[in-house]
Structure 1
Amino acid sequence: MPVPATKAELLAAIDKTFAQLERDLDRVPLDAVREPVLDGHVKNTRMSPADLVAYLIGWNQQVLTWHRRRAAGLPDEFPAPGIKWNELGLLAQRYYAAHADDSWEQLRTQLRFAKSAITELIDGYSDADLYCRPWYGKWTMGRMISFNTSSPYANARGRIRAWLRTL
């Protein structure tokens, strides 16, 4: 799928990749949701399908936090408080831990809610807001949203599908 360059393309990419991911997550056996069957986000670690969903929730919520902070006139905290860009594995583990006690259904519901909140956020912006000026460094707002929604949805789907083929 090409990199979105307009609001309509961004929303379509998010909707398409999310729907595909949802279908694959529906196929995860309930007795395996907490089994460490996937490569983790830190080298030489393993994660469960539940951890992967927690990771997606975490990044979606991080995007929303960035926008809330900017709207409130607060300073940026990229990628997250106390985390540098070269420490994203630590951030992933923070997301796993934050959702360690959530059920599969709770995780899925939270992911759907976060995705919906992001599409509502996008709806409030124009193409110019999203793609005509840098928002963080050289990246536009639309690209930063894509980096943390449709791209990880597609990556997660690939991980889940590869594992499901081994069952």
Structure 2
Amino acid sequence: MKQYKNKQELIDTICDKYKKYIAEFEDIPEELRNKRIKEVDKTPSENLSYQLGWINLLLNWDKKEQAGLDVQTPAEGYKWNNLGGLYQSFYITYGKYTLKEQLEQLSVAVNKLDTWLNTLTNQELFDPRQRNWAMNKSEWPVWKWVHINTVAPFTNFRTKIRKWKKITL
């Protein structure tokens, strides 16, 4: 996993990977958004729904904690050993929207993430044990949670969407 030198490098990396990722959706017709193929595990809509789900969860974890509320990770009603169920909830929540609407929602979520990251100090971002929600078994610093839920899937899922397009379009 990439080590970031500072907050701005993390933000710049998220923006770069995000722009490349969303560009892949420009030529996908709406009528194929739910087209499933055996070679790729997610449809284009599911791919976007996954991203929307995780970024919004991440933002909500911190919002709840800052409001003094208990945060259940990964989400209310889900445990870490039931991520498949959580992903299905993402597909239901966000999959009802068109690709254009999902892309707009993702843009809003990434902008909120950027705004939130800019409010954090380097200590809050890079030192472990800065947020209760980040102190499960891993005790990752916040930046790792951000990376694993943005940069990593933007990069990996871009490859999956490209493969889906090559086979389908």
Q: Deviations for 1:16-62, whole angstroms, at most 9, x for unmatched residues?
A: 1101001111132333112123643xxxxxx3201110111111100
Q: TM-score, normalised by structure 2?
A: 0.88
Distance 1:89 1:4 in 2: 30
The partner residue of 2:80 within 65, 82, 85 is: 85
Task: Give how far 1:133 is off.
Answer: 2.5
Which residue matches 1:155?
156
Q: Say which SS state the counterpart of residue 28 (structure 1) adopts.
A: coil
The partner residue of 1:118 within 93, 97, 113 is: 113
Q: Which runs of 5+ in 2 are unaligned?
A: none
Query: Which residues in structure 2 correspond to 1:1-167 (within 5 Å)?
Result: 2-37=2-37, 39-40=40-41, 47-134=42-129, 135=131, 136-137=134-135, 138-166=139-167, 167=169
Give the residue type in structure 1 aligned to 2:11: L
Q: Deviations for 1:71-127, whole angstroms, at most 9, x for unmatched residues?
A: 101112111111111211111110001123211111110011011100100010121
Q: Deviations for 1:105-161, whole angstroms, at most 9, x for unmatched residues?
A: 111100110111001000101211100233423200111111111111112111101
User: Do the aligned partners of 1:4 and 1:13 also contact (CA within 8 Å) in 2?
Assistant: no
Give the residue type in structure 2 aligned to 1:149: T
Q: Say which SS state the counterpart of residue 26 (structure 1) adopts.
A: coil
Q: Say which SS state the counterpart of residue 74 (structure 1) adopts.
A: coil
Task: Give how far 1:6 is off.
Answer: 2.4
Q: Say which SS state the counterpart of residue 27 (structure 1) adopts.
A: coil
User: Do the aligned partners of 1:5 and 1:131 also contact (CA within 8 Å) in 2?
Assistant: no
Task: Give how far 1:5 is off.
Answer: 4.7
Distance 1:146 1:128 in 2: 16
Distance 2:71 2:40 in 1: 31
Give the residue type in structure 2 aligned to 1:133: P
User: Do the aligned partners of 2:30 and 2:98 also contact (CA within 8 Å) in 1?
Assistant: no
Distance 2:77 2:31 in 1: 35
Task: Give how far 1:165 is off.
Answer: 2.2
Q: How many residues align?
A: 161
Bigger proportion of residues as strand:
1
